[in-house]
Amino acid sequence: MRTMAIDYGDQRIGLAVSDLLGMLAGEAWTMQEWDMERAAKRIAEEAKARDVGTLVLGLPKNMDGSEGPRAEKSRAFRELLVKESGLPVILWDERRSSIEAHAILHSAGKKEKQHRKNVDAVAASLILEGYLGSAR
């Protein structure tokens, strides 16, 4: 079964799905959704359509490892995802994923204005790669 990583944000949500063997990050895209409950339903539908067996949700932590309001939102979103999808949802430390995603887009020659469209999908791919690498 596939694994889906989620980079949850207030306006955009980055999603990335692994290959069937769970070794490589494959498809990645961005979903625009402001309502947490609708977002959870849409992600559950995407997971079902792609034969996903595990969800990995980015948990934003401060650089010192502490958690703030964003982490609380992610924990609340996790509960909605479990309810809507019936799948296990693993919280994954996503420190620096957005910074690294911006660096990747910059090195690929993308202009700063174009980053907004893709940075969440790239961040989700980085979360997925980190999780898949740790599972091996």
Phi-psi sector, 55: left (phi>0), alpha (psi -120 to 50), beta: beta
At 103 the pLDDT is: 61
Number of independent structural domains in the chain: 1
Interatomic CA distance for residues 84 and 40, integer angstroms:
6
CATH number at residue 10: 3.30.420.140
At 98 the pLDDT is: 62
Write down the pTM of the prediction.
Answer: 0.86
Per-residue pLDDT tens listing for the chain (136 residues): 899 999 998 889 999 999 988 888 889 999 999 899 999 999 999 999 999 999 999 998 877 878 888 899 999 999 999 999 999 999 998 866 666 655 665 666 665 655 566 778 888 998 999 999 887 6
The domain containing residue 119 runs over which residues? 2-135
